[in-house]
Structure 1
Amino acid sequence: MIIVNNLEQAKKVTEEWLTIYNTERLHEALNNMTLSEYKNPKTGSVIFYLNLVLTLRYLQFHNKLSPSYHF
């Protein structure tokens, strides 16, 4: 818990938390990307695509992919 003494401190703590949340924290729902990476069309798309390909290859290798699915 963070205790602040005034509105200015509350704003500073909130801004610091938002910066970390948006630029450093990985989000499982975003395929373990930060929000900044996800929103960036270049890095977000590339990272998402690579994670997708690696996941599909893993499933294919371990025979957990439907036989009707070819990629």
Structure 2
Amino acid sequence: MKEVAKIIPDREFREFLDKLAEEVRVWKEKDHMGYVSVTCELAKYLAASAGSDHEMVFTAGQIKQVMDLAK
């Protein structure tokens, strides 16, 4: 049975965001990805758990923090 999706807790989100920030740094510095490419990759990360048994749900503020990494 599929688990009811819950908003990702702040501590877990902070860990997720820190790991993602490092990934974004690599995309920008080593892979030379621009703003649009990074934004697309971030959108894929946010949607990665969609439809899974352990779906992650983000608040609007959390989504903004993730998308701000592209700047």
Normalising by the smaller structure, the TM-score range is 0.3 to 0.5
TM-score, normalised with respect to structure 2: 0.34
Higher relative contact order (CA 8 A, sep 6+): 2
Structure label with greater radius of gyration: 1
Larger relative strand fraction: 2
Say which structure is richer in helix.
Answer: 1
TM-score by length of 1: 0.34
